[in-house]
Structure 1
C-alpha cells in the first residue's frame, strides 16, 4: 500500500472522529493536570506498554483561584485548600494510567485513564481517552522521525466537556542529543463549550545522553485554550524544568558526543523493560501551578 493511500485513509479516519464529536458530552471544560507527557514517534509491531504518569502540584493556577474566591463559594473544602496554599501546606496530586498496543509496524492504539483533584472537588477520575497514532517516517538512529496522532477524551465529571486532540509527533536525533516535539491542536466538544475555535497544546523535550543508560534534559509544556483569543503570554499556561531519564534498553555507546559503531545485534524474543523519568516543572505564568514534581514510568514487553 502506498504512502499516499495510507495518508488518505488516516485523514479520512480523523475527519470521521471530528464529525463524531458533534455527539459528544456537553459540559464545562477544565484542564487535566497530570499530562506532562511527551509522545514518541516510534511504533514497533506487537509491542505492548503500560505507562504511569503522576505529579504533585504546589500552588493553584491564578484563574482557578480567582474563580473560587470571586464566586462567593463557601464550601469548606475550597476555603480550607486556599488557606493551606497560603501557608505553603497544600499539595494536589494527579495520575494517568495508559495502555499502548502497536497493532502493526505503523499503527498504535492506546487508551488512558486520568484522575486529578480540582480546587472545588474531590480526587476522582476525570477523563477516559483513546488515541490512534500512525508512524509516517521511521527514525533509525540519527535522523528524523515523524508520526501523527489523533485522540478523543471523554470527560467523566459533571460540568466538563469532551475534547479532541490531533497533530504531529516530531523526533530528531543527533547522538547523544534527542529532540522531541509535540505541537497539537485541540477542540472542545458540545453546545456548552467555552471556546468556538481551536486551541493549542505543546510539549517539547531535549534529552542529552550522559551515560550508557542515563540522560538529562529539559522539558517544556504549554497550552493556549483558544487561538482566536490567545491573549498575552501571562494569560496562558506554560511551564519548564529539568528531567532525569533512565532507559535500561538503551545500549548505544554514543555518550557525550563520542559515538561508536553499533555492534551487530542478534534477534530474539522481546524482553520486559522498565523505563522512567523524573523531573520538576516550574510555572512561568500566573495561570500555571507554581511547581510540580512529575514522574513517568513504563513497563514495555
Structure 2
C-alpha cells in the first residue's frame, strides 16, 4: 500500500482516534482542539459545523440572510433554502454538543468556540432577529451585560453588514460581539464589544507567499497584531492564499510567527495538518502563555 500523505495521515489518525483505534498519545494529538483554526464558508462543507469540529477547529463562519423573519444560511440569495437555518445548522447542534460534553463544545476544552455570523444584508434588522434567536441559547453563550463579559462555551461574533453595529452598541445585554476592522484598532471601542479584528489580507499586504516576505510588510503585520493584543483583541485575515502549496504554507507560517489568532481556510484537512506540524508555534500566545481561543477581552 502506498504511504499516506501527511495531510491524509492526520485525517486518518483523527478518524482512528474517534473510533478508539489509535494509541492514547496519538489520539490526544489528533483530537486536541486547534485554537487558531477558523473554518471560512463553513456551511459549504458536506456537513456544516460537524466537519470543522471533527477536524478540531475552534472557530466557524456562517453567512446569513434575513428571509421571512428567519435567518437562512447561504453565500448568495440564489442558494437560499428554507431548511438551512442558522438554528438548525449551528445553534441546535452546538447546544447538543455543549450538553453532551458537560459545558464544552469539544470534550474537556474550556475556552469558547467562536461562531462568526456574517450578515449579508439588512444588517440592523437581521441583527435584531439574531438577538431574539440567540436568547434561548444564552446559557451556552458568552454574554455581555453593561460591559461585563461572562464567558460561555460559544462566543457569537457578528460580521458583514456594518449596519448591525448601531443596534448592538445600544444594548445593555448582548449575546453576541462585533467583528471590527483595522480602523477600529486604537479607538475607544473596548474588547468587550469588539473582541475580534478582521481584515482582507490583500488590502494591507501585497505578499502572497512567493519569495521573501518584505521586511516592511512583516513589520506592519506584527505591529497590527501587537496593537490588537494590547487592547485584548484577536486578529483574523481573510483572502489569504488557500490553494495547497508552498505559497500558502509560507503565509500561514508568517501569520503564526506574528501571533495572528485565527488562520482562515476552506481546506479543513490542510490547515489541521499544517497546525499539527507546527504545534509549538500554534500553541504560543503573547506573553509566553499557552492556551485556547481567548474570551472576548483576552488576547
**Does TM, scored on the shorter chain, surpass 0.5?**
no
Which TM-score band (shorter chain)?
under 0.3
More helix per residue = 2
Structure 1 length-normalised TM: 0.27
Larger Rg: 1
